């Protein structure tokens, strides 16, 4: 298991301390569970990552052309 030291603002710390009656183990468990749930919600699906890379590559390709080019078919931008 890896350890991470967190710095909390005074208001957040006080809220957690009050909520769990100063029980540091309960606060740690709450934080671990909350972080795990949030990470699980935001973790990327491999299919989403592939779609993002395809979109980014297309966008970068289209932006790489000369500005104002009126050549039909160049980088998909006709007149």
Q: What is the pLDDT of residues 10-52, one digit of tens each?
A: 999 999 999 999 999 999 999 999 999 888 887 766 666 556 6
Query: Which tokens in the block code for residue 37?
Result: 């749930």
Task: Evaluate whether residue 24 is within a structural domain.
Answer: yes
Our count of domains for the chain comes to 1
In whole angstroms, give the CA distance from residue 75 to residue 63.
Answer: 9
Query: Which tokens in the block code for residue 55?
Result: 């979109």
Residue 53 pLDDT more than 70?
A: no
Residue 7 pLDDT more than 70?
A: yes
Task: Evaluate whether residue 76 is within a structural domain.
Answer: no
The Cβ of residue 7 has, within 10 Å, a number of other Cβ atoms equal to: 6
Task: Look at phi and psi of residue 68 and say left if phi exceeds 0, alpha if psi is from -120 to 50, else beta.
Answer: left
Task: Evaluate whether residue 14 is within a structural domain.
Answer: yes
Q: What is the pLDDT of residues 58-68, one digit of tens each?
A: 677 677 666 66
Task: Evaluate whether residue 4 is within a structural domain.
Answer: no
Task: Evaluate whether residue 73 is within a structural domain.
Answer: no
Residues making up the chain, counted from first to last = 79
By residue range, what is the domain housing residue 18? 9-59
């Amino acid at each position: 298991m890896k350890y991470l030291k967190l710095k909390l603002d005074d208001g957040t710390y006080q809220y957690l301390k009050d909520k769990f009656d100063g029980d540091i183990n309960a606060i740690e468990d709450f934080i671990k569970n909350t972080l795990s749930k949030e990470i699980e919600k935001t973790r990327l699906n491999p299919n989403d990552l592939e779609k993002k890379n395809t979109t980014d590559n297309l966008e970068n390709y289209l932006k790489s052309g000369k500005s104002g080019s009126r050549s039909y078919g160049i980088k998909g931008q006709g007149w």
